[in-house]
Amino acid sequence: MKIRNVYLIIIGFSIALMACRKNVLDKKPLDVLTEENVWTDVNLGRAYVNQLYASLPGGIERDLDGATEIEDGNKQSTRTYAVGEVTAVNSPFSSSWETYSVIARINKFLENFNPPDAEQEEIDGLKGEALFLRAFFYRELNDLFGGVPIVEKVQSLDEDLVVSRSTYDDCVEFILTDLDQAAEFLPDPADAEVGRANKGAALALKSRVLLYAASPLHNPGNDPAKWQRASDAALAVIDGGFGYALYPNYNELFLNDNNEEVIFDIQYQFPFRTTSNDYTLNPQGLNGAFGNSRPTQNLVDRYEMANGKQITDPTSGYDPNNPYENRDERFYGTVLYNGVEWRGIEIETFFDGAFGPGVNDTYSTGAHMTGYYLRKFLNQNEDTNPIIFQDNRADQNWILIRYAEILLNYAEAQLALGNENTAREYINMVRARANQPDLPASVTGAALQERYVNERTIELAFEEQHYFDIRRWKLAPELHAGTIYKMEIENDNGNFIYSIGEMEERIWNDSYYYLPIPQEEIDKNENLSQNEGY
């Protein structure tokens, strides 16, 4: 009895002894990495840079062009611009300010990444990508806000965080420094992985930066030196031997990923990275699609006839009762209109048609019926791209820079420098892809300038260029403001009666050249000045 007692106690407490573990609190995260892992391992460093690409801004979901006259949709963001209610508190695109969080990540990478076992070339390549991306983000910030604080190092918390804004031109120089360094580090497009930044992309972005910087908004004295730099930068891409060329089919250019015209883009791949384009852009009511980003009559009227004449030209052959016949093929590649066949059905945008305004309209659905839907970027194949509510399946890449832009950049710079023939030649290159006849040599001066504006507007419509173009050209007061038109269509037993109607009057304030700095940032940083008019 007693002996058993002792054994029991011994056994019991021996078990207890084993149970009494050391280091109970010495726990580590089991399913996340630490920062130190990333800076010392080249593969993790690459994964870190991969994730930076995932933050690239842009796309039809953000839709900067929605805040211009070429579009009228039912999106809250773009409505704010249409009705002139942008304030420092309520400014939809101001969330771009959050780009600073990506810039901070890039800064951290540039400062810390130094894996001991990696080859210098590999390290430089990744740093080159990071520098390119930093330039890309600053370019956006600079053009959206007009001169922003330059943060090029990881700030420590005890350092003064209340930074001030640099001028637009200082930002440009900072961006160019990054791009020059990136171009040095990055491989030629042929040697780079598809989707990563390369030397061609760095030079192409430089062309955009310098063209914008030379434009009237930022070059009030019209300094020709600025235009010359812009021209040189564009030519460096054109003559760079990178193998860029215009893709033969305008509509398929946006559907056939990674073609020869693409210089830099955001990559998507079903099912890993997708967008909501199919159900947000397809005609409203088609399997529950939203029909966002609707083209306006203002845009549609810009498309020439296939014979190269503008529809305002009495000899163009434009028939207001058959408005969609014989137009520039970019019209058919960009716009879905009444009567066009789409996904096996005929698009009806007439009154009480399947996708048109009607008696049952509500505020949310009917008020922004322009008579058109967007076709650009949309895949017609119902098998690969079914329309399913909240099911993101679209995986076309979103092109950020393409060769046509560079050609137009060069044309614009040459035009400003007075070389009209060269300008016309490069405009015609872009027209030729759409099978539009060359601009005749008789088009000169202001007329040529206007044709250039028209060309760039339709070629790059909805690609988030128009938003910046009308501002830097200082044409926004006349283009953004004023009447937005829509097409009103009556169905008279299968005969359609077309009449152009007024949709709304839009408001422009000169403060809209730039976004307001978000009010909460002004509140937190006394050194941050607000843009004029906010």
Q: Is 320 or 344 the residue whose CB approaches another protein more closely?
A: 344
User: Among residue numbers 136 through 155, which ones bind another protein (CB under 8 A)?
Assistant: 149, 151, 155
Name the strand (E) or helix (H) holding 262: strand 262-266
Q: How far is the CB of 145 from another protein (least distance, A)?
A: 12
Verify binding: residue 158, another protein, rule CB under 8 A.
Answer: no
Of 119, 313, 523, 532, the one binding another protein (CB under 8 A) is 523
Q: How far is the CB of 456 from another protein (least distance, A)?
A: 29
Nearest-angstrom CA–CA distance, 482 and 470: 14
**264: Cα separation from own chain's centroid:** 11
Q: How far is the CB of 104 from another protein (least distance, A)?
A: 2
Nearest-angstrom CA–CA distance, 435 and 308: 9
Q: How far is the CB of 14 from another protein (least distance, A)?
A: 8
Report residue 195 as tokens: 């989707």
Q: How far is the CB of 28 from another protein (least distance, A)?
A: 8
User: Among residue numbers 96 through 125, which ones bind another protein (CB under 8 A)?
Assistant: 97-98, 100-105, 107-108
Q: How far is the CB of 316 from another protein (least distance, A)?
A: 36
Q: Is 16 or 225 the residue whose CB approaches another protein more closely?
A: 16
Q: Is 30 or 446 the residue whose CB approaches another protein more closely?
A: 30
User: Among residue numbers 188 through 207, which ones bind another protein (CB under 8 A)?
Assistant: 193-196
Q: Is 215 or 284 the residue whose CB approaches another protein more closely?
A: 284
Q: Which of 374, 398, 390, 395 is nearest to 275 (CA)?
A: 395
Q: How far is the CB of 525 from another protein (least distance, A)?
A: 4
Q: How far is the CB of 8 from another protein (least distance, A)?
A: 6
Verify binding: residue 361, another protein, rule CB under 8 A.
Answer: yes
∠ Cα 174 175 180 (to 5°):
100
Q: Is 42 or 411 the residue whose CB approaches another protein more closely?
A: 42
Q: Is 5 or 495 the residue whose CB approaches another protein more closely?
A: 5
- Kindly indicate which of the ranges 95-103, 170-178, 373-381, 482-490 contains the residues binding another protein, using the contact rule CB under 8 A: 95-103
Verify binding: residue 35, another protein, rule CB under 8 A.
Answer: yes
- CB within 8 Å of 524: residues ≥ 6 apart: none
3-class SS letters over 335-353: EECCCCEECCEECCCCCCC
Nearest-angstrom CA–CA distance, 105 and 92: 24
- DSSP string covering 452-504: HHHHHHHHTTTTT-HHHHHHHTT-HHHHTSEEEEEEEEEEETTEEEEEEEEEE
Q: How far is the CB of 5 from another protein (least distance, A)?
A: 4
Q: How far is the CB of 19 from another protein (least distance, A)?
A: 4
- CB within 8 Å of 244: residues ≥ 6 apart: 189, 200, 237, 238, 260, 261, 263, 403, 406
What x-and-dash track marks residues 321-350 binding another protein by CB under 8 A? Answer: ------------------------------
Which residues, listed in sequence order, are joined to residue 264 by a DSSP beta bridge? 401
User: Among residue numbers 268 through 307, which ones bind another protein (CB under 8 A)?
Assistant: 268-269, 271-273, 287-288
User: Among residue numbers 60 through 79, which ones bind another protein (CB under 8 A)?
Assistant: 76
Verify binding: residue 3, another protein, rule CB under 8 A.
Answer: yes
Of 362, 421, 493, 495, the one binding another protein (CB under 8 A) is 362
Q: Is 271 or 494 the residue whose CB approaches another protein more closely?
A: 271
| Beta strands in 330-447, from DSSP E residues, in sequence order | 335-336, 341-342, 345-346, 373-374, 398-402
Of 120, 157, 225, 492, the one binding another protein (CB under 8 A) is 157
Q: Is 12 or 248 the residue whose CB approaches another protein more closely?
A: 12
Nearest-angstrom CA–CA distance, 362 and 348: 18
Sign of CA dihedral 381, 386, 387, 393: negative
| Beta strands in 267-397, from DSSP E residues, in sequence order | 335-336, 341-342, 345-346, 373-374
Q: Is 268 or 514 the residue whose CB approaches another protein more closely?
A: 268
Report residue 436 as tokens: 């539009």
User: Among residue numbers 43 through 62, which ones bind another protein (CB under 8 A)?
Assistant: 44, 46-48, 50-51, 53-54
Verify binding: residue 9, another protein, rule CB under 8 A.
Answer: yes
Q: Contacts by 141-145 with C-beta closer than 8 Å and gap 24+?
A: 141/96, 141/97, 141/99, 141/100, 141/171, 142/168, 142/171, 142/172, 142/175, 143/212, 143/468, 143/472, 144/93, 144/96, 144/514, 144/515, 145/96, 145/97, 145/514, 145/515, 145/517, 145/531
Verify binding: residue 398, another protein, rule CB under 8 A.
Answer: no
Radius of gyration for the chain, computed over Cα atoms and rounded to the nearest angstrom: 28
Verify binding: residue 360, another protein, rule CB under 8 A.
Answer: yes
Report residue 475 as tokens: 């044409």
Which residues, listed in sequence order, are joined to residue 402 by a DSSP beta bridge? 262
Report residue 422 as tokens: 């060269």
User: Among residue numbers 414 through 473, which ones bind another protein (CB under 8 A)?
Assistant: none
Is residue 489 within 8 Å of residue 356, measured between CB atoms?
Answer: yes
Q: How far is the CB of 333 from another protein (least distance, A)?
A: 24
Q: What is the dihedral of CA 172, 457, 81, 162, to 10 degrees?
A: -10
Q: How far is the CB of 260 from another protein (least distance, A)?
A: 16
Number of residues located near another protein, criterion CB under 8 A: 95
Q: How far is the CB of 108 from another protein (least distance, A)?
A: 7
User: Among residue numbers 236 through 255, which ones bind another protein (CB under 8 A)?
Assistant: none
Q: Is 75 or 229 the residue whose CB approaches another protein more closely?
A: 75
Nearest-angstrom CA–CA distance, 161 and 469: 33
Verify binding: residue 93, another protein, rule CB under 8 A.
Answer: no
